[in-house]
Amino acid sequence: MTRKKEIKTIKLRLYGESFKINKLSLNGVDKTRVDEVCRRLKEPLECALLNVSFYSRLQLKSHQTIEDFIAHSFGGLINSPKNKIEIWSGRKCLQKCNIETLFSKHTLFPVFNIQHSQVTVTPNNELLFLEKEVGFIGEYLIECPQFNIDLLQFNISDLVYDTVSYQVLSGIQYNSVDLSPHKSDTLVTYRYCVNNLKPASIPY
């Protein structure tokens, strides 16, 4: 009888500060109702979306916070000396490194597989939500019989929007499969909404 291989759970943990650009969508929402709530608050749409009173007045179960308007997000852990990555197997730490290790293009013997890209966000009739967070940015799980660090790939992006520019860890793959964060515990330090919709929302 062939013995079944034990499945191991590997945990990748990201700590530090992250930056994200979120594209918001008003699809499925009564725009007349949205305009009416903005008038009552005497705020343009981009300000109202950051106001908790907007959601209580909107009275939609499907849209309780600004996160419910997010259609697409891009960003990740910022290239900063304080930010780090840890790889755990049970109680054993397999690897620990500063995020700068990933972003350095001049490392003689790279520890990880790195994929670089350039991403420029050009607003075109869109509603954008910019956000920064600090803390436990995310935990990614890999379940496999035998973990092979050579199958791990980090996607590094030069993210540019208007006058804002960051190098971010935009994605993680294992064995060519995209990994999604399992959990996080962060504190929001910055939130800003930009209205590029045509015609743009105006103060009421």
Query: 137-170 pLDDT, tens per residue?
Result: 999 999 999 999 999 999 999 999 988 899 999 9
- Interval 60-74: pLDDT, tens: 999 999 999 999 999
Cα–Cα distance between 197 and 175 in angstroms, integer?
Answer: 40
In the chain, pLDDT over 70 holds for what percent of residues? 92
Average pLDDT, the chain: 89
Tokens of 53: 């009173």
Tokens of 95: 């690897």
pLDDT number for residue 105: 65
The average pLDDT across 7-12 equals: 92
pLDDT number for residue 4: 64
- 60-68 CB contacts, 8 Å cutoff, 24+ apart: 60/29, 62/28, 63/29, 66/24, 66/129, 66/193
64 sits in which H/E element: none
Residue 192: strand pairing partners: 130
- Going along 99-196, which residue ranges are E strands? 113-121, 127-144, 152-161, 164-174, 177-178, 181-195
**24-28, 89-93, 136-140, range with greatest mean pLDDT:** 136-140
